[in-house]
Structure 1
Amino acid sequence: MSPPTQGQFLRLHAPPEGSPRGTRGTAKVETLPLTPPSKDKDLVLFKVLAAGFNRRDEWSMQGAYPGLTYPSTLGCDACGFVVGEEKQRYLVVPTRGWSKDTRGPEADVPGSDGQKAGNALGGKGFGLLGGTRQTGGVGCFAEYMTVERSQLVPVPDHLSDEEAAALPCAAVTAYRALFTKARVEPGHNVLITGIGGGVALLALRLALARGANVYVTGGSQPKLDHALKVGAKAGAIYKDAKAWPEAIKQSLPKDRPYLDAVIDSAGGAICAQALKAGLRPGGSVVVFGMTATPKVDFTMREVLQNVDLCGSTMGSEEEFRRCIRFIGEKGVKPDVDTVLWGGLEEARDKGFEMLADAEKRARGGKVVCRVAPKEEGKSGGPEESKL
């Protein structure tokens, strides 16, 4: 069978010229010619079976994500196979420009000429797939992608295509925050805030798989109840900012009455709240998001308690590979809230709205688009994917 010459893409277009600040972009499903892969650049043609949504896709629609380029293909999470090699499923590494340095992306460190390093997708510096100039506008909401073979990671066998597609961005973010930054070990007590978000739920499952004791905060009782069912020890509603730290502190075990680390998605006064919740002297607060505020308060009180405040965004290719191996070894499955079975058109029509209304979903979890027909790959089926 001859390789395909065209495919469908869910593309982001800029608002009309002269539109007021904050005007949403337009998402269009377009049929375009495919770029033939180049062997000298390690490029292959990759068929996407399923693609995962992230909050950043909605922020991109709002024009609020850094580095956007127009028009470009959205999405940074994909499960699929190399065309002609259908038996092996892969995940696409969601970033470029960050190989293995635990401190941060190598490509963002200027070279001797003062320039950032380029990549095979046509961009420069560190960046995520999906809508950005750093990755040449390449994204995962597409029937086909042209990507580097070296940036493909085998999918653990226990996962369906839809479960696998829910992993990349959220999984590597959670893995780095927990194990590179917070250095979580078996027996540690860990607080994860904002449970219900994709990263927070994966952090919960990864920490439990590591043997940690997990405590959570969430915006609603159903989200707490789901986390408790998964294995969290206790939880509290974060909307009561004065009460939740004491509630968490009172739930800690008598033989280890403190938190070793806090994994936070909100920012704001989390450091002071963490100490009230029982964070030990020398404990870590790892912030990977800013859903509450772009600022994090850090005072001499935390300094005198030797608290480490760590920023963490995404992760390296090596961390991603270690994360997927860990998920395979431990049999971890992500929380998939909804699978959009109607392909890229349904992703366009419903996916962004679901991201914007994330607080309304009872327990949280990921939204995934099934791109290819169910008969291809290893589809979980409508009921099996509602984990």
Structure 2
Amino acid sequence: MTLELIDFVVETDGVDLEDFPPEVQKRINEELDELTGGDGGPGSDPDNPPQSIIVDAGGDGDYESIQTAIDEEAGSGDVIFVEPGDYESFTVDVDDLTLEGPNAGIAGDSDQRGDEATITGKVNIGGDPGGNPTLSGEVVIDGIEMATTTSGLPDGVVSIADRSERVENATIKNSVVDIEPSGVGVGIAVEEVDNLTIENNEFTESGSGTSVAVNVVETAASNIELSGNMLTDVDRLYNEGAGFIEGRGISSTTVRIVDNDVNGAGTAIGIGDSEDSLETVDYVISGNEIEASSVGILQNGGTPASFTIENNDFIGDSGTIYVDDAENEILDLSAILNDQGNTFDPDADVTDEDDDGTDDRIVAE
């Protein structure tokens, strides 16, 4: 194997960009232009250059508190690097802000993770009553552990937006979200948001009770994707608590639930609600491993929707309902069972007809 080292640059006294060969200067300038939106090149000085801010609970950074760093210095396009340690609650109310923990880029369930930056309070993205009506840009949380020890929290360990402040573009990835049901039963609570990505996180449950990884409450939301997440003993991966509603120009939405690994759930995925009022909702549920003791996919009432349910691996012994469509009876259960690449526990006798003789459930008998 041949390894090629390209443009490995560290800050060194007495070395300027002009000291590099012209072709390297050009390559670096192009990257700087992409990152900063500036003109690139030596001497370029964007009006509001992005900056890096270091938060270290031990006192070796620019700040010891994430909230203080946000309030006193963070601007649009900035990156806050959060060092290992314990941190209190914070609210992101700055457009286009990235928070990178010590495990940024490392999946939440990876054994390669090192010491964590642990949030022991609540995390809010938007939802500030005194903030802007819309938080734009992209807010990113990458490589952080969120494990609140606070009891009685409303919403979730992480709350994204509310009806006082809409969020456009939010990503939570490569993080660990621990849910303590006696304090707060939801990992990530979602209200009014466009383009939400939740990927490569691990959701765990400490204590006992009912827990939900991602809960969508009554909201005007569009484009939600859950991908590559791992659930361990969390009761539900996705739930629509009070459905989607039209509002703020939203008349349809897409929900993609792909390539997640769900272990030890009760009802793994709860879709739809009687209060849905969007014109269309498109669901893609694909490539997931779903182990559930009660129901794999529960399709409730609400707005007529389109469904793609394919290439999932359903696990559960006798008595498990793999797909429940008794509320609306709009799914093609025969196709889900036979034609769309889904697999079912080989030790179970699987049928799309339940005890009352109707084909509104796929069950293990």
Q: TM-score, normalised by structure 1?
A: 0.23
Higher relative contact order (CA 8 A, sep 6+): 1
Q: TM-score, normalised by structure 2?
A: 0.24
Which has a greater percent of strand?
2
Which has a greater percent of helix?
1
| Greater Rg by CA | 2
